[in-house]
Amino acid sequence: MSTTPLARPAAGEPDWVALLRSQVESLHFGTVQLVIHDRRVIQIERTEKLRLPSGGIETSREKISL
């Protein structure tokens, strides 16, 4: 789980908006989803993608054990 510091909400802004803003601002590639229940935001989910260089990364089969 990410330990992104909580941002301070602007005046009149719900707390979750500041948290959502900090999650989006620190993300390079990925998605941020809101989970809503009874018209309330109850969860923020973040999936981050790590992009490799366009040519990929060469690896040796002997060094990889899955």
CA-to-CA distance for 24 and 30, rounded, in angstroms?
A: 9
The per-residue pLDDT for 18 is 92
Mean pLDDT of 8-16: 79
pLDDT at 56: 74
Report how many domains make up the chain. Answer: 1
Q: What is the pTM of this model?
A: 0.60
Q: Does residue 27 form part of some domain?
A: yes
Q: Look at 2 and 51; give whichever has higher pLDDT.
A: 51
Q: At residue 44, does pLDDT exceed 60? A: yes
| Residue 33 clears pLDDT 90, i.e. is over it | yes
In terms of pLDDT, which residue wins out, 43 or 10? 43
Tokens of 46: 């973040």
The answer to whether residue 62 is domain-embedded is no
CA distances, 30 to each of 5, 13, 33, 50, 65 (Å): 19, 25, 10, 8, 27
Question: Residue 28 belongs to what domain range?
Answer: 1-49
